[in-house]
Each structure stands twice: as C-alpha cells, then as structure tokens.
Chain A
Amino acid sequence: MMAQRPATVLDSLNLGLRQALEADSRVILLGEDILSPYGGAYKVSRGLSKAFPDQVLTTPISEAGITGIAGGMALRSMRPVVEIMFGDFTTLIADQVINHIAKFNRMYNGQVTAPVVIRTPMGGHRGYGPTHSQTLDKLFLGVPGLTVLAPINLSGADPLGVPGRLLYDSITKANSPVLFIENKLQYLMKLLTPTDLGEFDMADLSPAGSGRYPFYKFALKAAPPARITLAAYGYMAALALEAVQQLAYEHEVFCELLVPSLLAPFELAPIIQSVKGTTRLLTIEEGTLTSGWGAEVLAITAAALGPGLQRTGRLAAQDSVIPVAPELEAACLPDTADIINQVREMVRRT
C-alpha cells in the first residue's frame, strides 16, 4: 500500500520518525508517555511503538537522564531521538546538551560523533501558562557543536513533507547533535501545497549541495520591488506568510519573507542578499525579545551591510511571564496583526 501523503505537520513528523525507525535499527526513540495508544503528549509518536516495539522506549520523567543516556548511546553507534514533552523543560537538559553531547566531538578532538536528535514543542496560545508555553530556542542558539532546526509547514516535492524530511535527515544522517524545535500550534497546521501558495513565488536559497536545510524566500507574484525583508521561522513563518498577503492587498506594502530551517549555526546569506535590495529588516520570533534570535540576525546583517541596513525591527514576545488568561496571553505573544503593524511602521516615510 502506498503511504498516504501527510496532510499536517504532525503527520509529516510522524512519518519522518516512522521511516527513520524503519531505515535504521540503530534509531531508538526515548520519551515520556510515547507508547501507543497515547503516542506522546502531542501524538507525534503515535502508532510507532506498535510498529517498532524494540525501538520505542517510554521513560521515567527524567529529562536530564534520558538526554544524557541518549548521548552515551550515540557515542556507541546508536542514533537516539529524545522527545522532551514541553519545550519549557529543555532547561532540565541544558547541562547534558551543552557540557556533554555538543562538546564530545570537539573536546575529544574529532574522534567521536554524537548524533542525538532532541525534539520538543515550544510555543503558547494554548492557555498553558507560564511554564508550559514558552519558546526557549534562544537559550540554545550559539552553543558550539549544536545544530538547531525548526521546520516550516510546507508540503514540498518530498513525499514526507518538509518537516518530516528535515526530521528524517537529522535522525539518519546528521553527525552532530540536533535540537529540533517544533511548535504546538504548528502541529495541526496544513502542509501548504503549491496550490495553497499559488500567489507566491517561492525559492529554496539554501547553498547548493547543502539542500538539507531549506532556506525559503517568499514574495507575491508580479509584485513591485519589496520595501522590507521579513525573517521568521517555524510557526511564526506561517503567520508572516499571512501578513505578507494582507500587507499587499490591504496596505500596498510589498515584502520578501525569508524562512531558514537552520537556526544555528547562523547562516544568513539569503537574508543579507534580500536586505541589500530592501534596506529594511524585521525579525519575527515567539521567544522573548531580549537577546533573542532576531538580535543576532540583525547584528550579523548589520555587520555585513553597514549603512546598507537602514531600518531594523524585532518582533518578539514581551519580556514577561506568559499568563493563562487568553487576553493577557494574546497581548504577550506576537501575532499576524503585530507583524502588519510593525511593518507599516517601518516603511512609513518620515
């Protein structure tokens, strides 16, 4: 039977895991509550323990321990995948990631690799409150030896879909540890097909030969030259796509949207290239503002372009606790309207 093409991000990730387990018996999934029928708190692992009972291990509530154990397994030739139930709990694995797994290759002078993939959902808008809603990606950006990835909800040409392909490749091919950032609201999003994106010109600008980490550029077809570059990833990229359309149709502001899937190490050539034309750059992220992804993107772009970068903006969550009350939570986190407002502000002639 031909596998059905995945429809959502969740389906795509699930299929990526399934195919990785199938492809390589050294792949093992470790995580809390991941056995069937439950399949993990967000169901990304659903059905997998039935199909691969020896390769799916449900664990005690021991985030640091399972991450460290995965590191040891990876040093001895396995390809472990760890699911951290909520991204907030990546704080508990920080020592294992930073002082162990990401260190091994360089610290042992290149003699070893530690290909661990750590998957975790970040993000709010679910009313889960201060300790189950955060986007902590920035804490792990710039850790030497660690690759940080976040997928966008595209179907692409690949039967796995873009998220599933990125995950599959990370598990089966990566030689360094990967922190794979998912997002709670993104799970149920539709994988956008070429038909869905009919109004857009889309290009993958990842450097030739390294197509592993797609870097997309979106602009509306036949639009006038863009006046501003937007940079966003993951769930925020989907919001930014909506914003790009509304800005064009309702406000006659034309943008280029740049979406990396590789967050760290930072490789920003396509953003820099775009800003050469637009001179304005707005970064969009769901983590808190201070010392975030956007700060680094702006710093790198400014260093590359000097006076060629004329206006900058960073849209991010407020530097605050994320409240449970829906209206308070919404006020704290960036949304499509915030993107539109900030873009209009940045292109206003002074």
Chain B
Amino acid sequence: MDKDIHLYQQLYTIRCFENLLMDQFSSGIFPGTTHTCLGQEANAVGVLSHLCEQDVVVSNHRCHGHFLAYGGDPVALFAELMGKPSGVCGGVGGSQHLHWQNFYSNGVQGGTVAMATGMALAEKRAGTQAIVIDFLGDGTLGEGIVYECLNMASLWAAPILYVLENNHIAQTTPVDLALAGSITKRFEAFNISASHLDSSDILEIYPLAGELVDKVRKESRPHVLIIESARLGSHSKGDDTRHPEELDRLWRSRDPVAIQTARLSEAALRSVNCQVEAAIQSAFEAALAVESRRG
C-alpha cells in the first residue's frame, strides 16, 4: 500500500475508534470515564510506526491512540472499555490501565515516567537492544518525580525516548498557568538532548520520530521529542472549558486527519474510509456481543 494511504488509514482508525466511543458514551455501555486522543493521532502513529518487536511503550491516561498504533486490537480495547472479561485487561484496568505485549499505561500523572525509566534500565542491563517510548503530557511536567527520573535516566544512560505531547492544556489549565520557563531547557538541564516539532502533520512527525528511535537505540541514552500538538476533544467525556472559537480554529489548523486527507485521491479516500469505518463498527459490535460478567 502507498505510504501516504497507509499512514492515513492508521490515523483514521484511531479517529473512528474515538469518535464511536464518544458517540456511544451517553448510551451507558461504557462505565466510568475516558480520555480520547482526538487531534493527537499523528503523534501515536508517527512515533510507534518505528518500533522493533522488543521495544516497550509506556503511555498515560490518554492511551487509546497509542495502544491502537502499537498494534492493539480494537475489539479487545472496546471490550475493556465495556468492562468485559475479554477486554485487554479483563475489564479490571479500563480506559487508562492497559497492558498487552510490551505496552503499558497508567492513569497517575508522573509515575509512569519512573516505570518507563526503570524498564529502559532493565532492558539495557539485559542487553536486549530494546528501547522504551514514554508518552507524557505538558501538565505532567508539574510532578516532581518526573525530574527525579530524568536525572537518573541521564545519569545511568537509559535507552528511552520521552515523547512530550504538548497540547498546551491539562484538563482545563492552559500551559501558561502551570509551567514556568522552557520545556526544552528542563530536559537539557539533565543533559537529555531535545528535538522540537510544532506540527500535527504525520509526514513531519513520522520521519523525525524514525530518526530519534534509531538515535536512542544507537546511543543508548535518553532523548526527548517535544511535539506541539492540539487536543481537539474534551479532556474526558465532555468537560471542555475552551472557547468554541478557539476549538474551531484548532480544528481548522491542527487536525492531523484533515491534513493527511488532502494528500489522498478521492477514490483512495473513499475506499479507506469505507474499510476503516466498517472495521471499527464491527469491532464495536464484536465487543458488544461477547458475554458480560454475570451478576
């Protein structure tokens, strides 16, 4: 398949998954809450397309896109979100606590950086050549443990690529109200080299991430990729305090699916859309059909 189409297909798969999830949330099929990655699909696909089999991914509360881009099964993810025994973690973990193969997520801000750094050190000691990809958000830079771990990651040369998805907001708090100084300099202060990209375009994220994955593997040292991004959905189910005009502007300028759509022929687009929409719909129905817990 053409590369442009393949990347689009992955972006659109995540988009359809999250859209269907939001559409169905009010129906009561999904217990609890959830955080969608609408607008940040290209970060997941762009980075995780470059993994080797042994590599490890650590994600956070906003993990569905990362999970699907890693190769996770949408049926198992829907089932997990429905709390079913056939879910990724048997319905125990739910939206923010996934583990499958070498993919792990946890919903407590900051602690995942420790977990990921420890994993990278373990892989290094075992000589597996694996690297760890650790996704974190701008708001998580408020947690002290992050800096404890950046210090040790650098000190002990952990093979880890931190991917900082700076969507400029944490729940309702704009980054300007929470963060002093420079994000890049925070990493550089620990002698962790930083790459910076202000883009939602998969064709910009994908090649840079590829280089960085190789670099971390080759140097066996930490590196950070800071991606200026946009959260196009609400924080969780429907809690967006941003001005509609602001959201409108973001949708028009920072939608990774729209950016990639423009590069596809109408025929290709139609065919991929049909196929992806059907696949997600049938994943949802398959998850719905499996038996729930009794009682």
- A-side residues, CB < 8 A to B, are 28, 57, 59-60, 62, 64-78, 80, 95-96, 99-100, 103, 106-112
Show 21 residue pairs from A and B whose CB-CB distance is below 8 angstroms, ordered by the A residue.
A60-B155, A64-B114, A68-B114, A68-B145, A72-B116, A72-B120, A72-B122, A73-B121, A74-B118, A75-B118, A76-B126, A80-B118, A95-B145, A96-B114, A96-B145, A100-B106, A100-B114, A107-B93, A107-B106, A108-B89, A108-B93
Contact of A66 among B92, B144, B152 (CB under 8 A): B152
A77, B145: Cβ atoms closer than 8 Å: no
A111, B122: Cβ atoms closer than 8 Å: no
B260 in contact (CB, < 8 A): no
Cβ of B104 to closest chain A Cβ, rounded Å: 7
A107, B92: Cβ atoms closer than 8 Å: yes
Cβ of B222 to closest chain A Cβ, rounded Å: 13
B123 in contact (CB, < 8 A): yes
B99 in contact (CB, < 8 A): yes
How many angstroms from the CA of A111 to the CA of B99 in the assembled complex? 8
Chain B neighbourhood of A111, CB < 8 A? 89, 99
A95, B111: Cβ atoms closer than 8 Å: yes
A72, B89: Cβ atoms closer than 8 Å: no
B92, A106: Cβ atoms closer than 8 Å: yes
Binding site secondary structure of chain B: helix
How many angstroms from the CA of A62 to the CA of B148 in the assembled complex? 6
B92, A68: Cβ atoms closer than 8 Å: no
Binding site secondary structure of chain A: helix
Contact of B92 among A80, A96, A109 (CB under 8 A): A109
Contact of A65 among B93, B125, B145 (CB under 8 A): B145
Query: Which residue on B lies nearest to A68, using beta carbons?
Result: B114
Cβ of B136 to closest chain A Cβ, rounded Å: 13
Count residues of B near A (Cβ-Cβ below 8 Å).
33
Taken residue by residue from 39 to 58, chain B's Cβ proximity to chain A (1 for < 8 Å, 0 otherwise) reads as 00000000000000000100
Chain B neighbourhood of A68, CB < 8 A? 111, 113-115, 117-118, 145, 149
Cβ of A61 to closest chain B Cβ, rounded Å: 9
B152, A72: Cβ atoms closer than 8 Å: no
How many angstroms from the CA of A304 to the CA of B115 in the assembled complex? 41
- Known contacts A78-B125, A108-B97; decide if A72 and B118 are in contact (CB<8 Å): yes
B184 in contact (CB, < 8 A): no
How many angstroms from the CA of A71 to the CA of B58 in the assembled complex? 13
Chain B neighbourhood of A109, CB < 8 A? 89-90, 92-93, 99
Contact of A72 among B108, B115, B151 (CB under 8 A): B115
- Known contacts A59-B152, A64-B145, A77-B126; decide if A69 and B114 are in contact (CB<8 Å): yes
B92, A71: Cβ atoms closer than 8 Å: no
How many angstroms from the CA of A68 to the CA of B145 in the assembled complex? 9
Most buried by A among B122, B144, B156: B122
B114, A77: Cβ atoms closer than 8 Å: no
Contact of A99 among B93, B111, B152 (CB under 8 A): B111
A73, B99: Cβ atoms closer than 8 Å: no
How many angstroms from the CA of A65 to the CA of B115 in the assembled complex? 9
B151, A60: Cβ atoms closer than 8 Å: yes
Most buried by A among B56, B98, B114, B155: B114
Contact of A78 among B104, B122, B155 (CB under 8 A): B122
Cβ of A28 to closest chain B Cβ, rounded Å: 8
B119 in contact (CB, < 8 A): yes
B119, A73: Cβ atoms closer than 8 Å: yes
Taken residue by residue from 146 to 187, chain B's Cβ proximity to chain A (1 for < 8 Å, 0 otherwise) reads as 001101100110000000000000000000000000000000
Chain B neighbourhood of A28, CB < 8 A? 125
Query: Which residue on B lies nearest to A69, using beta carbons?
Result: B118
B122, A71: Cβ atoms closer than 8 Å: no
Cβ of A293 to closest chain B Cβ, rounded Å: 27
A99, B148: Cβ atoms closer than 8 Å: no
How many angstroms from the CA of A96 to the CA of B145 in the assembled complex? 10
How many angstroms from the CA of A31 to the CA of B144 in the assembled complex? 19
Cβ of B14 to closest chain A Cβ, rounded Å: 22
A100-B114, A108-B93 are known; give 20 further A-B pairs, CB within 8 A. Answer: A60-B148, A64-B144, A64-B145, A65-B145, A65-B152, A67-B114, A68-B118, A69-B149, A72-B115, A73-B122, A76-B56, A76-B118, A76-B119, A76-B122, A76-B126, A107-B93, A108-B97, A109-B90, A109-B92, A110-B90
Chain A neighbourhood of B151, CB < 8 A? 60, 62, 65
Chain A neighbourhood of B56, CB < 8 A? 76
Cβ of B34 to closest chain A Cβ, rounded Å: 16
How many angstroms from the CA of A107 to the CA of B99 in the assembled complex? 9
Chain B neighbourhood of A60, CB < 8 A? 148, 151-152, 155
- Known contacts A106-B92, A109-B92; decide if A71 and B114 are in contact (CB<8 Å): yes
How many angstroms from the CA of A194 to the CA of B79 in the assembled complex? 59
Most buried by A among B56, B99, B118: B118
Chain A neighbourhood of B148, CB < 8 A? 60, 62, 64-66
Contact of A70 among B118, B123, B145 (CB under 8 A): B118
Query: Which residue on B lies nearest to A99, using beta carbons?
Result: B108
How many angstroms from the CA of A64 to the CA of B148 in the assembled complex? 8
A72, B117: Cβ atoms closer than 8 Å: yes
